[in-house]
Chain A
Amino acid sequence: MLRNKVSHRRKILVLALCCQMVLILLMGRLSWLMLYRAEYYAVKAEELHVRERSIKAKRGQILDRNGQVLADNRTVCTVSVIHNQLQDKEQVIRVLCEELGLSREYIEARVNKVSSIEKIRGNVEKETGDRIRGYNLPGVKVDEDYKRYYPYGELASKVLGFTGADNQGIIGLEVKYEEYLQGKPGTILTTTDARGLEVEKEGEKRVEPESGNHLVTSLDLNIQQYATQLAKQVMETKQADRVAIFVMNPQNGEIYASVDVPEFDLNDPYALPEGVTAGSEEEKQELLNGKWRNACINDTYEPGSTFKIITTAAALEEGLVHVDEMFSCPGFIIVEDRKIRCHKTGGHGGETFTQGIMNSCNPVFISLGLRLGVERYYDYFQKFGLMEKTGIDLPGEAGTIMHKKENMGPVELATVAFGQSFQISPVQLAVTAASLVNGGIRVTPHLGVKTVDGEGNVIKTFGYETKKDVVSEETSAVLRELLEKVVSEGTGKNGYVEGFRIGGKTATSQTLPRGSGKYIASFLGFAPADDPQVMALAVVYSPKGVYYGGQVAAPVVRQLFENILPYLQGM
């Protein structure tokens, strides 16, 4: 038997020490990994393990100037099932059938589908969701969610706009003020295994969503409601295609109301108008876009005689006309080789300029236009801000469609002078008129006033550009007087409200193509005439029967003013 010699023992010792050395080196490696690289790998591992489910943020409300809520949120629920956590499938199917009122086949198919999470139904009423949660069914998940809700349905639909499936703004104020309203979505972080199944013992980590800020607008619920009622009324009685009413403060550009009937239900914006069916998807989108358009802002029209305000202001500013200057109207005027008729075929005969504007006599304004000449007239368009957009805080504002300066001959000049042969948006006309009668300050029309947080603290007050000295104070004063006369004694007398000084101008324009027999009746009024605090523009598209602005549109503004002037005085 061989002895275990000293040399062997030494080698055994060397061997053992070598092995232990290596193990100690590995401890070093392990320490380095677990102390210096821990953060790097731990973060990577976390990314791998965690699944994010986002929680919609509560969208900010849209309020009117008095704090009335125009756009709100409603809590709704999403009901889903997690296949691997289901226990009593039969019970789950039965309960969901009963509560959600869905067919058994539909729910059965979803309950039996092997997926990590299967949505059964979204936008479930909160009470129903709470009831389902009350059953405590394993594997059935009821997540709360917010959905936009418009308490007044149709009211101001084309101004407020609506939101899509992810609560993002689609049109109107909802899209314009998206960044303030949307808030910050939260997340539910759940740890999952490699197959994506939730690990229950790890629980959920929630990053709470931040609610959006509320938007306070300049809209006035009462005025908007009343204007809508009037617009509907006139649309019905005159069988008009559409009626737009735009009410603003001419001093600062705040919009009190913007109506364009037919409006649409904001709580169901994708419904097509009754009796209309769309063939293709594109066709449907086209119809919907048409339904959502705001005539005051997104569309242009030929303004007609209301534009004479602009012509008058330019001529007065240049000193080319005096209110007492005599004109004579034979019923037409010849410009170059064209004979342009006055709306009164017999002619107004001899009249002062004041009478001319009261009569809305075309030849008078054609003369004014010719006196100004293309160059100067065009300069005034630019100075008045007619050629630019108004900068209103709503998307899709339509620009002015005007002859190019180099293409504008005397005939074009003559037609433009009384408001024909070009197109302008109603809001542009109202704002330009406002700046001419308010003493020469071009304001930016707007709805957004400020944003406030949940506690009512002001987050941001919106500022808007103003441009001073668009016309002189004297011109503005003369213009106010003239326009007051139009209402008190002239074509606009249907706009008169007892006890108030009203200024205004009527217009009757044809829709293109000419000769279609379709007209647009409009009236632009403001009050008080000596210091305008409110301006309203009513536009009635294609009224049947009598179509004159003075008869169709002026009464609308009168009724509006009758109601809102006492109310505004109290404000």
Chain B
Amino acid sequence: MRGKQRNLRFQKKNEYFFDYSLLFIVLFLLGFGLIMIYSASSYEASMSSLTNNDPMYYLKKQAVASVLGLIAMFVVSRIPYHFWERFAILSYLVSAVLLLLVLTPLGYEANGARRWLRLGFSIQPAEIAKLAMILFLASMICHMGKTMRTGKGFWTILCIPLPICLMVWKITDNMSSAIIILGIAVLMLFVASPDYKRFLVLGGIGGAAVAVFVFALTQMESLQNLGFRSARILAWLDPESDPLDKGFQPLQSLYAIGSGGIFGKGLGQSIQKLEFLPESHNDMIFSIICEELGLFGGISIIMMFVLLIWRFMIIANNAADLFGALLVVGVMGHIAIQVILNIAVVTNTIPNTGISLPFISYGGSSVMFLMIEIGLVLSVARGIRLQEKL
């Protein structure tokens, strides 16, 4: 194994493992993200007085968050991850309290949704909740020990995230984050539980329910009383049927992707970012990547995430104990779910919902917490004894 040979040099000085490949992938994505945020947002930012007509407005804010995130990552990576275990229950409670705080005057609204908290700096409680859930579930599963093999253990773990998910969904009106939190929990449970059947059954039921719902929706005669989510689903099936409302963003995204071709129009040459595609520096940044860098650029980025998942798997499999492994699985689940859902939305493979692309999309809270999660993973990686494994 290449990594092993390369790391042999470190053995003498330091017998612990530091995953440079993972760090490199993350730094690459972060740097690439900054370039794409500048490309996608500079025109819009220069045209709007809300951003002081400063083309670098979004870039600057994201750069600051990225630097803070990097610092946080290095700090966290130096702290043995078991240090955090004692805060597991506390973090769960804190995230619940923060979510409730959104209802108080501390919460504020942006882009038409009340999802942020102003605590001297602005933050999305849902991002904290994701990290808290990973920590709490990893700790819970380890405490439950053999109970995990029983149905009781299974259902307990499945129920733990539900209150938080409901709060994220109902209080902050953020169904996508709720789904991500639930997804993280299910994936961690999948690794912790020795069972396969239950997951297959759960997956089957879930899939069937979605199919029935979508089918029922298309058969419905009266479209008058549809909620906005149902309307989004119909727009997903045929975005051109509602090109100016619900189908607008998916369609504009497809225009961007379609005009990219194989090698794209070239960095900075996107037209769709000129206010045609809403959220072009945010949830829809992948469309702009495809438009500017083409299929080649799009596939390269997906490949980077495939590599990232592979690194997570290596670290999780070599983690010193189950707690470490579960932390990494949680982070892997978080990032994998977001990447998959984001690209699926952008390519109109699933109905439109607001999910950002990890490390690349604009968003300070998101990048800070992702970097903390990477710090955790690096900390787990440091716990791998090179003599023992790898």
A22-50 vs B, CB cutoff 8 Å, 1 = contact: the mask equals 11101101110111011111101110110
Closest CB of chain B to A16's CB: distance in Å? 4
* A38-B298 in contact (CB<8A): no
Q: Would A34 and B258 be within 8 Å (CB), given that A4-B320, A9-B317, A202-B271 are in contact?
A: yes
Q: Interface size class for chain A? A: 35 or more
* B306-A20 in contact (CB<8A): yes
Query: A residues within 8 A CB of B310?
Result: 16, 20
The residue that A41 contacts in the complex, of B192, B254, B271, B309, with Cβ under 8 A, is B254
* B257-A34 in contact (CB<8A): yes
The residue that B258 contacts in the complex, of A11, A38, A194, with Cβ under 8 A, is A38
Q: Would A30 and B257 be within 8 Å (CB), given that A4-B325, A13-B317, A193-B275 are in contact?
A: yes
* A45-B306 in contact (CB<8A): no
Q: Interface-forming stretch among B165-173, B216-224, B342-350?
A: B342-350
B161 within 8 Å of A (CB atoms):
no
Q: Would A199 and B271 be within 8 Å (CB), given that A4-B319, A29-B347, A30-B343 are in contact?
A: yes
Closest CB of chain A to B144's CB: distance in Å? 10
- Chain A residue nearest to B145 (CB atoms) is A2
A19 within 8 Å of B (CB atoms):
yes
* Interface hits, A182-203 → B, CB 8 Å: 191-195, 197, 199, 202
- Chain B residue nearest to A24 (CB atoms) is B306
Complex Cα–Cα for A195 and B194 (A): 57
The residue that A23 contacts in the complex, of B260, B272, B339, with Cβ under 8 A, is B339
Closest CB of chain B to A331's CB: distance in Å? 88
- Of residues B145, B260, B271, B275, which shows the largest number of chain A Cβ atoms within 10 Å of its Cβ? B271
Main secondary structure of the interface of B (DSSP, over half): helix
* A41-B313 in contact (CB<8A): no
* B321-A48 in contact (CB<8A): no
* B255-A44 in contact (CB<8A): yes
- Of residues B255, B299, B302, which shows the largest number of chain A Cβ atoms within 10 Å of its Cβ? B255
Q: Would A30 and B302 be within 8 Å (CB), given that A8-B192, A23-B340, A38-B259 are in contact?
A: yes
A402 within 8 Å of B (CB atoms):
no
Interface size on B, residues (CB 8 A): 54
- Can you name 7 A-B pairs with beta carbons within 8 Å? A4-B320, A12-B325, A16-B310, A30-B298, A45-B272, A192-B274, A193-B275
Closest CB of chain A to B272's CB: distance in Å? 7
Q: Would A19 and B340 be within 8 Å (CB), given that A29-B347, A38-B259 are in contact?
A: yes
Complex Cα–Cα for A357 and B363 (A): 105
A15 within 8 Å of B (CB atoms):
yes
A5 within 8 Å of B (CB atoms):
yes
* A12-B276 in contact (CB<8A): no
Q: Would A35 and B295 be within 8 Å (CB), given that A2-B142, A8-B192, A23-B302 are in contact?
A: yes
* A35-B262 in contact (CB<8A): yes
Complex Cα–Cα for A408 and B127 (A): 102
* B190-A8 in contact (CB<8A): no
Complex Cα–Cα for A20 and B312 (A): 12
* B321-A4 in contact (CB<8A): yes
Q: Would A3 and B322 be within 8 Å (CB), given that A34-B260, A48-B276, A195-B275 are in contact?
A: yes
Query: A residues within 8 A CB of B336?
Result: 19, 22-23
Query: B residues within 8 A CB of A29?
Result: 344, 347, 349
A1 within 8 Å of B (CB atoms):
yes
Q: 6 closest A-B pairs (Cβ-Cβ)?
A: A41-B258, A193-B274, A194-B275, A16-B313, A45-B255, A19-B336
* A30-B295 in contact (CB<8A): yes
- Of residues A2, A13, A202, which shows the largest number of chain B Cβ atoms within 10 Å of its Cβ? A2
Closest CB of chain A to B46's CB: distance in Å? 11
Complex Cα–Cα for A151 and B97 (A): 87
Query: A residues within 8 A CB of B299?
Result: 27, 30-31
Closest CB of chain A to B119's CB: distance in Å? 34
Complex Cα–Cα for A301 and B320 (A): 115
Complex Cα–Cα for A33 and B250 (A): 13
Q: Would A34 and B317 be within 8 Å (CB), given that A29-B349, A194-B276 are in contact?
A: no
Complex Cα–Cα for A455 and B264 (A): 44
* A31-B255 in contact (CB<8A): no
A345 within 8 Å of B (CB atoms):
no
B244-275 vs A, CB cutoff 8 Å, 1 = contact: the mask equals 00000000001111111110000000011011
Closest CB of chain B to A413's CB: distance in Å? 74
Q: Would A23 and B305 be within 8 Å (CB), given that A4-B319, A34-B290 are in contact?
A: yes
B179 within 8 Å of A (CB atoms):
no
